[in-house]
Amino acid sequence: MTGKTMLIDAYFKQLKMPQAAKVYQSMAREASDNNLTYEEFLLGVLEQEVHQRDNNRIQRRIKQATFPMIKTLDNFDFMAIPSLNKPKVLALANGEFIKHKENVIMVGNAGVGKTHLTISLAFAACRQGFRVKFYTAAGLVNELVAAQHEYRLNKMEKQWLTPDLVIIDELGFVPFNKSGAELLFQFCSSRYERGSVIITTNLEFAKWTEVFGDEQMTAALLDRLTHRAHILNMNGESYRFRQSISKNSS
């Protein structure tokens, strides 16, 4: 390693440009072989650094979202759910609803792909630069109840608006006690017109009282969540049921 190379590496390290430090020598040889100008060589090195930083940011956002798995729209079977508006879903994937702080509510029986679709939209949002956080409804309520018992709720409230998009998955599978229902109401209300929420549920809106237990609070919550919301009907035959039948018949 020459003195100049050591100095260049040191400058890249000081400027926190690890990708540029990694590729500049090979790119310099390539530039020489192809008679590229100094400007073209420099542009190529800088592009490598910028692309790597963008990819690192995307990976950090995906990790911070705490998805249970990674899903994309590429392998979602729209044909299996005739009631689902595919053009609307594809439009939602552009992220405009997040910019406008709108909500998405997916209603459908178990196994039709609500979680898959939700993660797909949220994954696309991460790639577009949005901050995302994934919860199951039960997991979120447990976290809120624990924060309340440990007197951390006021501090936690400041974090509720940090994500541009929050996913609350599987609302309706487990009923909440009075305290849990009130905390979830408080969480959702705090994000009203200040941040987007995607909710998946197996219950029609008329049955949400079964989960929250209080008609007045349920009505107030639905009023906030459905205001300027995109509601997707996903009732259909279970993916998992069809896959099971397919395996057993083969």
- DSSP for the chain, written as a single string: --HHHHHHHHHHHHTT-HHHHHHHHHHHHHHHHTT--HHHHHHHHHHHHHHHHHHHHHHHHHHHHT-SS---GGG--GGG-TTS-HHHHHHHTTTHHHHTT--EEEE--TTSSHHHHHHHHHHHHHHTT--EEEEEHHHHHHHHHHHHHTT-HHHHHTTTTSSSEEEEEEETSS---HHHHHHHHHHHHHTTTTSEEEEEESS-GGGTHHHH--HHHHHHHHHHHHTT-EEEE--S--HHHHHHHHHHH-
Q: What is the mean pLDDT of each run of 10 residues along the chain (250 residues)?
A: 86 93 94 94 95 95 96 91 92 97 94 93 97 96 94 86 96 90 94 95 93 92 94 72 42
Q: Is the CATH number of domain 73-249 3.40.50.300?
A: yes
Which pLDDT score is estimated for 247?
A: 43
Record the pTM: 0.84
Which pLDDT score is estimated for 221?
A: 94
Enumerate the domain spans of the chain.
Answer: 3-62, 73-249
